[in-house]
């Protein structure tokens, strides 16, 4: 299954980067960044090379804490290794590749209120997603001088009451 998703993405990525011409690409480590540290290193290095070859910087962002349920349990060691591996790749690549630890926003305990997980303990609730967007904007400002939009302009409004956005309420 991984090949069914990853390979087409790897094939499309260079063309997408060339046509879009980003200054910075942010990649948040996911709950599916499985594999040995060497496999993770190869993937993060491949991503760094694709992004920097396109003339952009890469920002590797750690994942929020989440509940390791029966589905994730067999991959727990791989999940824990991913941010360390990503940071090592960033450290080796120079200033064009950076690692940012989101623990300053989420903490490290998926059950804590500051983790802003949905009732399943895995997914972000809408408040958590908004907090992440605001936090990431501030990080981009520190690193690149980016000025994020004021959250009062994008994180409010009638759309927030729509059913699709309220299904993952915070605990």
Model pTM score: 0.88
| pLDDT 10s digits, 126-138 | 788 888 999 999 9
Domain annotation covers residue 7: no
Domain annotation covers residue 58: yes
The three state secondary structure string of 86-126 is: HHHHHHHHCCCEEEECCHHHHCCCCCCHHHCEECCCCCECH
How many beta carbons lie within 10 A of that of residue 97, not counting itself? 23
Domain annotation covers residue 80: yes
Domain annotation covers residue 12: no
Domain annotation covers residue 10: no
Give the count of domains, the chain. Answer: 1
Check pLDDT > 70 for residue 170.
Answer: no
Domain annotation covers residue 26: yes
- For residue 108, what are the domain limits? 22-166
Domain harbouring 86, CATH code: 3.40.50.1110
Tokens of 94: 């120079």
Domain annotation covers residue 8: no
| Distance, first Cα to last Cα, the chain | 32
| pLDDT 10s digits, 68-123 | 999 999 999 999 999 999 999 999 999 999 999 999 999 998 888 888 888 888 88
Of 23-32, 85-94, 162-171, which range is least confident?
A: 162-171
Average model confidence (pLDDT) across the chain:
89
Domain annotation covers residue 4: no
């Amino acid at each position: 299954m991984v090949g069914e998703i990853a390979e087409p993405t790897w094939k499309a990525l260079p063309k997408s980067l060339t046509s879009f011409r980003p200054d910075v690409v942010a990649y948040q480590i996911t709950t599916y960044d499985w594999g040995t540290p060497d496999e993770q290193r190869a993937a993060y290095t491949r991503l760094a090379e694709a992004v920097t070859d396109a003339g952009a910087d890469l920002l590797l962002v750690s994942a929020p804490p989440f509940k390791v349920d029966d589905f994730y349990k067999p991959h727990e060691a791989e999940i824990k290794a991913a941010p360390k591996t990503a940071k090592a790749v960033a450290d080796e690549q120079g200033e064009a590749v950076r690692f940012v630890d989101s623990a300053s926003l989420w903490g490290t305990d998926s059950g804590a209120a500051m983790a802003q997980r949905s009732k399943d303990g895995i997914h972000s609730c809408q408040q958590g997603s908004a907090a992440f967007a605001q936090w990431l904007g501030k990080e981009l400002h520190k690193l690149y001088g980016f000025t994020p939009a004021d959250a009062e302009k994008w994180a409010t409004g009638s759309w927030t009451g729509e059913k699709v956005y309220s299904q993952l309420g915070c605990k």
